[in-house]
Amino acid sequence: MKKLLNLSLNLSSFIQNKKIKIKLSIYFLTILQCSIFQLHAQEFQTTIFAESNGNLDSIIVGFDITSSIDIDDQFGEVDINNTVFDATFEIRAGQIDLNELQCDDNLIDSNSDLITYMSKIDIVPMDCDGYDFNQTINGLPPYSSFFVRNKDLPVTIKWDSAVFDNDCMNKSFITELHPGGWFDVTCGGESIYLVEMVNQDSLEISNPSAAFLIDSFGDTLSMYHIAIRDEIITSNVSERLAQDIEIYPNPTNDFLNIISDKQEINLVEIYNSRGKLMNRNTNAARIDLNSFPSGIYILRIKVNGIFLTKKVTKFT
């Protein structure tokens, strides 16, 4: 009887210890899972869809503070720069070497090493708190480029605008503007201006980009850029010039006046929120917006060879 009692006590103690160990294991596993989640809490990625003549494709762009400006295997990035574009239709993401991109380069040969890499996935090194200056593209905040063949145009680009509706990414945008300087100081000739991704969910690309290239397989490619961030990039140069230009009234329901006593205005362009050019004038001091639908427009003013930008609201 005594042996049975000891056996029962030992068994009870063994089971109790096992329960404690199991509970501790679950506890530490939970902590580990939470730690992993927190480690990647800033990681973000989203799918950009593309359609051309009924043919569909997509890329993934995003950010993670542990990423780099080179190919990162852990995020599924694979360099496909040396492979031919799909004969039916394809869109690619990637990075370009800004040292190889100049304003006077409208047609760039692939041998110029402009493209650092192409991939179906591009995760840039940043998080919602900012970015590591040592992991930048020529000192600029990280961004992704994407490429389509000119012969596939027009191409419709679509995305989920809701994922950008937060303090971290509410100023993200797609642009054709030259990324070698600031995004609002441009080379000119672009047709896709700054399209804010939180305010719309699609973009129609009808014309080839102002700066395009021929890859090693003979395909002519247009390139565009996606910047994911919480503020619009501006330059000191454009800010100083903008102080010399008076734009009024804004909002307006009929005419927009553009006056400058210090600077010579060479060109004025107005784009709608989808990046479509609505009006172009040379040396225009007064723009008639009476025929424009109500909404937000982008005003681009060329001053001394530099483009400045301003949002304009039209109401009825």
Domain co-membership, 217 together with 254: no
Domain co-membership, 265 together with 194: no
Domain co-membership, 30 together with 160: no
Backbone angles phi, psi at 29, to 5 degrees: -65, -40
Domain co-membership, 267 together with 182: no
Express each pLDDT in 93-120 by its tens digit: 999 876 666 554 445 554 457 788 999 9
Confidence at residue 282, expressed as pLDDT on a 0 to 100 scale: 78
**CATH assignment of the domain containing 288:** 2.60.40.3080
Domain co-membership, 22 together with 73: no
pLDDT at 242 over 80: no
Residues 6+ apart with CB under 8 A from 42: 63, 64, 65, 127, 128, 129
- Write down which residue in 201, 227, 253 finishes a domain: 227
Express each pLDDT in 198-239 by its tens digit: 989 999 999 888 877 888 888 999 999 998 887 766 555 556
Domain co-membership, 143 together with 214: yes
Domain co-membership, 55 together with 74: yes
- Write down which residue in 205, 227, 249 finishes a domain: 227
Strand partners, 300: 269, 309
Domain co-membership, 48 together with 106: yes
What does pLDDT average to over the chain? Answer: 78
pLDDT at 142 over 80: no
Domain co-membership, 139 together with 211: yes
- Write down which residue in 202, 227, 252 finishes a domain: 227
pTM value?
0.67
Domain total for the chain?
Answer: 3
Domain co-membership, 306 together with 171: no
Confidence at residue 221, expressed as pLDDT on a 0 to 100 scale: 92
Domain co-membership, 203 together with 263: no
Q: How far lies 50's CA from each of 60, 119, 166, in Å?
A: 11, 15, 24
Confidence at residue 80, expressed as pLDDT on a 0 to 100 scale: 96
- Report the distance separating Cα 289 and Cα 278, nearest Å: 10
Place of tokens 């380069």: 105
pLDDT at 129 over 70: yes
Share of residues in the chain with pLDDT > 90 (%)? 36
- Report the distance separating Cα 290 and Cα 288, nearest Å: 6
Domain co-membership, 248 together with 283: yes
What does the block give as tokens for 234?
């501006």
**Residue 8 belongs to domain spanning:** 1-39
As separate numbers, helices (DSSP H) first and strands (DSSP E) second, the chain gives 2, 20
